[in-house]
Amino acid sequence: MSEENSEFFNDQEKIFLLKLARETLNLYLKQGRWPEVIPDNPKLIRKQGVFVTLKINGELRGCIGYPLPVKPLYQAVMEMAVAAATEDYRFPPLSPEELDRLSIEISVLTRPKKVNRPEEVIVGRHGIIISKGYNQGLLLPQVPLEYGWDLETYLSHGCLKAGLHPDEWRRGVNIEVFEAQVFSEDDYNLRADQA
């Protein structure tokens, strides 16, 4: 994530957010309640876009987020952790029994900005938001790297995510890019089954 767009989070801040997401999922799935926490670190209270990704054995299990800075970061992380576990239409709701096998990844986003040409998208650096009319699709910057996509494949999948024809980006769509600082429990050996 480039310096002009957003401050980098240090290890202590990343670990706080990962542990907060984990605690939120534990409390919500097992007791139906939320943690009561308000951090005193101004970087964690600032409004920022964020996605929470849940994986089991390296496979996607849920991913939902706020592309725009609409809530304080710590609050958005809590809400999106629960949403990824319970509201991602691609998966059944997460069960408490799955928590021990779950790995949590957080992507803190910069504010999206419009690009004028598809060639301006940098694979591996930029996440994309593709829109046309009422259709919109978002892919995080780590996605094309995980699948080995080139730029054309990345843009085609962005169009598919938006419910458009995969070649629609050649005919004209609105493309916005953003960057993300991505970190996961695996980076810090925080998962329950790694303790």
Write out pLDDT tens, residues 172-182: 999 999 999 99
Domain membership flag for residue 6: no
Based on the domain organization, do 187 and 140 belong to the same domain?
A: no
Domain annotation covers residue 5:
no
In terms of domains, do 32 and 106 share one? yes
CATH code at 186? 3.30.700.20
Same domain? For 42 and 91 the reply is: yes
**Does one domain contain both 22 and 99?**
yes
The answer to whether residues 130 and 187 belong to one domain is no
Same domain assignment for residues 94 and 163: no
- Using a 10 angstrom Cβ sphere, with 0-12 exposed, 13-18 middle and 19 or more buried, the burial of residue 124 is exposed
pLDDT at 1: 46
Looking at the structure, tell me whether residues 16 and 104 fall in a common domain: yes
The distance in angstroms from the start CA to the end CA of the chain is: 30
Q: What pLDDT, on the 0 to 100 scale, is given for residue 8?
A: 85
Q: Which domain holds residue 170?
A: 113-178
Q: What is the pLDDT of residues 5-26, one digit of tens each?
A: 446 899 999 999 999 999 999 9
Helix (H, G, I), strand (E, B) or coil at 183: strand
Strand segments (E) across 67-170? 102-109, 113-115, 127-132, 135-139
User: What pLDDT, on the 0 to 100 scale, is given for residue 7?
Assistant: 62
User: Could you tell me if 124 and 45 lie in one domain?
Assistant: no
Residues 16 and 83 in one domain: yes
Q: How many domains does the chain have?
A: 2
Q: Region 156-166: what's the mean pLDDT?
A: 97
What's the CATH number where 169 sits? 3.30.1490.150
- Same domain? For 186 and 170 the reply is no
**Does 130 share its domain with 56?**
no
Residue 48 lies in a domain: yes
Q: How confident is the model at residue 191 (pLDDT cuts 50, 70, 90)?
A: low
Is there a domain that residue 79 lies in?
yes
Q: Which residue has the higher pLDDT, 177 or 192?
A: 177
Q: What is the pLDDT, as a whole number, of residue 189?
A: 86
Any domain includes 1: no
Question: How many Cβ atoms sit within 10 Å of the Cβ of residue 113?
Answer: 11
pLDDT reading at 4 higher than 50: no
18/105 same-domain check:
yes
Q: In sequence order, which residues have a C-beta less than 8 Å from that of residue 39 and are 6 or more positions away?
A: 16, 45, 74
Both structure tokens of 43: 């970087």
